[in-house]
Structure 1
């Protein structure tokens, strides 16, 4: 895969609002592991290798277990995720696949049950943001670091 455009080098100023938003997520009441699991799950659904690599590396660096990362695409079948994580992952899938789900009431009710109203907004913005990042990285064919290492060899 060949990168189409180095979007960040060309227009870093256009990405500043998204970077500022990422800082808001980092400094929010949402747990770091939950934020990264949401980002990883949306990236899996969207097939964004760059983002899958980035968020799995971040989770690993913060002590996340390999089992939880490996089972993430089957989280509904696993007991390794908390009620809060399960609600966030269901909402992530619903919003990432919005064309087919229309954001079901049951998924929203699960989120509303375990997240305060402000956190519901944060979570929804987080899901929207990672979907935007995925589309940018996929659209411009941003290679993940392992691809760069393979090309160098």
Structure 2
């Protein structure tokens, strides 16, 4: 077995993940966070996980929502740039914490820039995005020009 397309083998589970993903996106908006921040979180998680399919998808989505090429170019090293707000930096740090599951838990992101509701929304979005990365990578979704 070289690879299995998970969505084709178990389409009902895939549909549930799509619904879960929609709830994660909705939580970002309901928590008062910019949907563009959600795309940055998805991009950063996909960079960490090495998911080319999701990187291309969410980079395109971010551009469609008005993201700049300069910010996209430095999101992989967001902590070294001055392009991101305190809230964006906190959300990116939290998303990295959820993705990497650091033990002991690091709270470097917790500088007051995110409310509890916003931190919960970013955490759920990170959980969803990590699931998507694993589906795309495991299924070997094609990424070609």
Shorter-chain-normalised TM-score: which range? Answer: 0.7 to 0.9
Question: Equivalent residue for 2:90?
Answer: 87
Which residue of 56, 61, 80 maps to 1:53? 56
Please report the RMSD computed on the Cα atoms of aligned residues, expressed in angstroms.
1.7
Runs of 4+ in 1 over 6 A off after TM superposition: none
Contact 2:25 2:125 in 1 (8 A): no
1:15 and 1:102 map into 2 onto residues whose CA distance is 32
CA distance in structure 1 between the aligned counterparts of 2:24 and 2:34, rounded to whole angstroms: 9
CA shift for structure 1 position 9: 2.8
Return the offset for 1:101: 4.7
**Structure 1 runs not aligned, ≥5 long:** none
SS of alignment partner, residue 81 of structure 1: coil
User: 1:137 and 2:143 equivalent?
Assistant: no
Higher helix share: 1
Match of 1:41 in 2: 44
Q: Is 2:49 the partner of 1:62?
A: no
Unaligned stretches of 5+ in structure 2? none
Q: TM-score, normalised by structure 1?
A: 0.82
TM-score normalised by L of structure 2: 0.86
Q: CA deviation at 1:96?
A: 1.3
